[in-house]
Amino acid sequence: MRCKHCDKECKNDNSLRNHQRLCKLNPDRQTTPFCDLAKQKEIADKRKSSGRVNQWSNPGYQLSEHTREKMSRSSIGRQHSKDTKEKISNAVNEKIKNNDWHTSLAKDHHYNYNGVDLHGKWELSYAQWLDANNISWSRCKESFKYFYEGKERRYTPDFYLHDTDEYIEIKGYKTDKDDEKWSQFPQYRNLVVLMKEDLKHLRII
């Protein structure tokens, strides 16, 4: 089975249908929130020139000013104080240094979804959302080298999207270690980090 646009070989009817729908050579190509390649290149160029990583989702996920204002008003009185945020951040970073981070969270919350081991309900909900939108994906198996606290380490994002060649990270709380992972991620690769606000905006959680 081959794509009528680019002649790529596909494994089955479903794979062929999904590929042709998103094929770069398809003049009537459909887009997903991840498919604006021109914008992705623009972001990558800015990121490369500034030396910073794009730690958030691409522009398809940006909230309007009206929505941001509503969210800000609704959260008044429920936000942590600056002192509390600092205490939380220090506690989390201390756990990371002691290799205690996630031992009672993601590692203990596994979900078997069609034979794929997912960590936490957010990853499960995201995988279900991808399938509902016919977006081809797999659990990411590729790891990337980075350095943290003087040691060489490996980072493996959560998901890989086949048709758009993107790596997806589902993140609830960002740490100093995450900053290092993302800032050292290869500039020629597309990494999208979805935080709680992004998942809510997409109505995934």
Kindly report, residue by residue over 82-93, the tens digit of the pLDDT.
777 777 777 777
| Half-sphere exposure in the Cβ direction for 177 (13 Å, CA) | 21
Residues 52 and 6 in one domain: no
Q: Is the pLDDT of residue 200 over 70?
A: yes
Alpha-helix runs per DSSP H in 165-204: 176-183, 196-201
Residue in this structure with the two tokens 């009537």, named with its chain if needed = 28
Residues 6 and 91 in one domain: no
Residues 154 and 86 in one domain: yes
Residue range of the domain that includes 10 = 1-30
Token pair, residue 8, equals 């790529």
Residues 16 and 115 in one domain: no
Cα–Cα distance, 85 to 91 (Å, whole number): 10
Residues 99 and 130 in one domain: yes
Residues 21 and 100 in one domain: no
Q: Please, is 61 exposed, middle or buried when counting C-beta atoms within 10 Å of its C-beta (0-12, 13-18, 19+)?
A: middle
Residues 48 and 5 in one domain: no
Residues 40 and 127 in one domain: yes
Predicted local confidence at residue 45, as pLDDT: 64
Is the pTM for the entire model greater than 0.75? no
**Segments of the chain assigned E as strands:** 110-113, 116-119, 137-139, 144-148, 151-155, 159-161, 166-170, 190-194
Domain-located, residue 146: yes
Q: Tell me which of 174 and 168 has the higher pLDDT.
A: 168
pLDDT per position as a tens digit, 61-78: 444 566 556 555 544 445
Residues 124 and 163 in one domain: yes
- The total domain count for the chain is 2
Residues 5 and 89 in one domain: no
Cα–Cα distance, 35 to 72 (Å, whole number): 29
Domain-located, residue 176: yes
Residues 100 and 195 in one domain: yes
